[in-house]
Amino acid sequence: DVVMTQSPLSLPVTLGQPASISCRSSQSLVYSDGNTYLNWFQQRPGQSPRRLIYKVSNRDSGVPDRFSGSGSGTDFTLKISRVEAEDVGIYYCMQATHWPRTFGQGTKVEIK
């Protein structure tokens, strides 16, 4: 199985400051169709997960533009340009190139 490794696992951030989460995969996530199926999800406390980013860098409808995704191959990053209070939660990367699909361990974002 493809192992997804996130860092850091805990990320205290000052309001208004940027935040960055790394996600590394144990194998390339480039699929035979040329796409890279790397997703980012946000899970706020007590809520279901919500997809933020798909195929590395495509933001979902309604997702603030302070969220951005980048990367290629095995190395990916989620960035929040200016953290707001509503961004508190756990962020997961997930690969959907290989079976079975696998998630990273999650990164807990909290306000300092």
Partner 1 sequence: EVQLLESGGGLVQPGGSLRLSCAASGFTFSTYDMSWVRQAPGKGLEWVTGISGGDGSAYYADSVKGRFTISKDSSKDMLYLQMNTLRGDDTALYYCARGTYGLDVWGQGTTVTVSS
Smallest separation (angstroms) from partner 1 to the CB of 102: 6
User: What does the binding site for partner 1 look like in residue numbers (CB under 8 A)?
Assistant: 1, 37, 39, 41, 43, 48-51, 54-55, 60, 90, 92, 94, 96, 99-106
Smallest separation (angstroms) from partner 1 to the CB of 101: 4
Smallest separation (angstroms) from partner 1 to the CB of 3: 13
Smallest separation (angstroms) from partner 1 to the CB of 103: 5
Distances (CA, A) of 102 to 1, 23, 42: 8, 12, 16
Secondary structure, 3-state, 50-71: EEEEECCCEECCCCCCCEEEEE
**Closer Cβ to partner 1, 17 or 70, answer by number:** 70
**Closer Cβ to partner 1, 11 or 37, answer by number:** 37
**Closer Cβ to partner 1, 94 or 109, answer by number:** 94
Distances (CA, A) of 93 to 14, 16, 35, 38, 56: 23, 23, 16, 7, 10
Q: Is the peptide bond before 8 cis (omega within 30 degrees of 0)?
A: yes
